[in-house]
């Protein structure tokens, strides 16, 4: 018996499904490395504004924390979208809610990225 090949449709749901799998693979090490460094090696008792400024003064940590924020928030927002789709059955309303959730994710992720970059720049300039 030959295996059959299924081509998934190229739509928003397929893209969201793939994004969750790809970003999830990246999110797992991002989170565990964050926990290892912040909670175990540094210790939460030693994290203060000076430590955060020092950490965010390095481009690598800025990118790391921006990716961690964006991927974690994307997973939460996609979960919210799935729950909303369980209760909203009209296709147009589902699309509207999905679009609003995506825009909210994008805006919050951009605000977070700007905050990470700007706070490090501002505090370094003050030194």
Phi/psi at 43 (nearest 5 deg)? 90, 135
Q: Tell me the two tokens of residue 27.
A: 């999110």
DSSP summary character for residue 45 = G
pTM: 0.80
Tens digit of each residue's pLDDT (9 = 90 or more) over 14-27: 888 888 888 889 99
Tens digit of each residue's pLDDT (9 = 90 or more) over 55-92: 888 999 999 999 999 999 999 999 999 999 999 999 99
Q: Tell me the two tokens of residue 77.
A: 């927002």
H or E segment to which residue 60 belongs: helix 59-87
Residue 11, CA distances (Å) to 5, 20, 60, 63, 68 in order? 18, 14, 34, 29, 26
DSSP summary character for residue 3 = P
- Residue ranges and CATH numbers for the domains of the chain are 15-126 (1.20.1300.10)
């Amino acid at each position: 018996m030959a295996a059959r090949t299924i081509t998934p449709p190229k739509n928003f749901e397929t893209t969201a499904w793939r994004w969750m799998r790809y970003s999830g693979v990246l999110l797992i090490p991002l989170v565990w490395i964050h926990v290892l460094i912040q909670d175990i090696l540094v210790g939460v008792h030693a994290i203060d504004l000076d430590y955060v400024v020092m950490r965010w003064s390095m481009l690598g940590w800025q990118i790391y924390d921006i990716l961690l924020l964006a991927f974690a928030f994307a997973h939460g927002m996609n979960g919210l979208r799935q729950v909303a789709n369980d209760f909203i059955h009209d296709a147009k309303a589902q699309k509207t809610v999905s679009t609003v959730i995506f825009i909210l994710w994008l805006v919050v992720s951009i605000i977070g990225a700007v905050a990470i970059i700007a706070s490090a720049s501002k505090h370094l300039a003050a030194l």
